[in-house]
Chains A and B, each alone.
Chain A
Amino acid sequence: MKALKFLIPLVVFIVLAAFCAYALVQNHDPHEVPSPLIDKPAPEFALTRLDQPGQTIHRADLLGKVWMLNVWASWCEACRDEHPHLVEFARLKALPIYGLDYKDQREPAQAWLAERGNPYDASLFDANGRVGIDFGVYGVPETFIIDKQGVIRFKHIGALTPDVLQGKVLPLLRKLNG
């Protein structure tokens, strides 16, 4: 027993090194905060359509179908990278896609869509960002998948990529609709 005492520093070192290696290898992006809203009911909202200020869309209006909520804004740089992928994805008509135009103004937002294509069935206009806060949005773009019962089943932080759409969104959709 005594003879092995010299191994103690080595063991301590190995334990510390293992912690460090774990932190390096797990490939964790500290900006991706896991949402507590997954598997929770989507928050209530009642927002006007971006293109029709007179028409309001409520959470209840979207019950009964699996739908996507994509948070975007005309001022958002990353949304520009994401947008072509979303436009292409929308052509599949895999599910209704609703936009949440977050802390934006109607005119530049509509011009933005006119210029780049509009993948959305409708965009909800969240001028003061309150609905965004209720969805726990802290960076734009963010994307949620909400099931037929109005429960949030998936959240993606940052720009959607073809990998995410093909590898995560479509399989989840098959599961939720199947």
Chain B
Amino acid sequence: MADARRHLLAALLAAVAALPAFAAAAPPSAPAATATASAASVEGSAPAVAKFEAPTARPTAADPALEARMLAIAGELRCLVCQNQTIADSHADLAVDLRQEVREMLQKGETPEQIRKYMTDRYGDFVLYRPPLKASTAALWLGPAVLLAVALLALVLVIRKRARLADDQFEPEPMLDDGIEAVDASSTRPGSPA
């Protein structure tokens, strides 16, 4: 039985360790690390955008403030051509054009929200590196948190159960520093069942 418990524990730990990978792999564009952290800011994400500086922000235009705003927005949009780059990053022709488009829309006084709508109208939610929270993306946003909660709950239950067990319910620990003689060595330790 102890063997089965150890397997369960190992599986739980593996599941917890695999959570970020799962979150990244399941839907096409999950920003795994930020998924749970930024879940609260999905609805009014306009202020959050400012935090995201595009890694290659090189203000070149005459108006550096405009350029910075443009890059902040473009840094959250996926380039359709080089799919793992942002529109701020990419050198693809389309990305250059779309940066210009964003620039002009900002100059016309349009909000980041309007610009994102312009993009999703044409390319779908796929362009958003921060996918919206809706029925089809609920598993993406909530899945990691739910999995983590389930894993932690199971972990707590197992640990509490093990804490109540008497010492002799456990197998003796093998001597890990001397693997060859592990079985013999452990059987001579005091307290181990004969």
Contact = CB atoms under 8 A, between A and B. Distances in A.
Nearest to A11: B11
Contact of B122 (A6, A30, A31, A37): A37
B7 A6 contact: yes
A139 B124 contact: no
Contacts of B93: 103, 129
A5 B9 CA distance: 11
A133 B97 contact: yes
B11 A9 contact: yes
A37 B80 CA distance: 15
Given A12-B15, A129-B97, A133-B101, A33 B7 contact: no
A103 B97 CA distance: 11
B50 interface: no
Of the candidates A5, A31, A133, A139, the one having the most CB atoms from chain B within 10 angstroms of its own CB is A133
A134 interface: yes
Contacts of A9: 7-8, 10-11
B15 A36 contact: no
B interface SS class = helix
Contacts of A128: 97
Query: Interface size bucket, B side?
Result: 20 to 34
Contact of A30 (B83, B94, B98, B101): B83
Nearest to A28: B28
B126 interface: yes
B83 A8 contact: no
Contacts of B1: 2
Of the candidates A36, A37, A128, the one having the most CB atoms from chain B within 10 angstroms of its own CB is A36
12 contacts: A9-B10, A19-B25, A19-B26, A30-B28, A30-B83, A34-B124, A36-B123, A37-B121, A103-B93, A133-B101, A136-B123, A138-B94
Interface of B: 1, 4-5, 7-8, 10-11, 15, 25-26, 28, 80-81, 83, 93-94, 97-98, 101, 120-124, 126
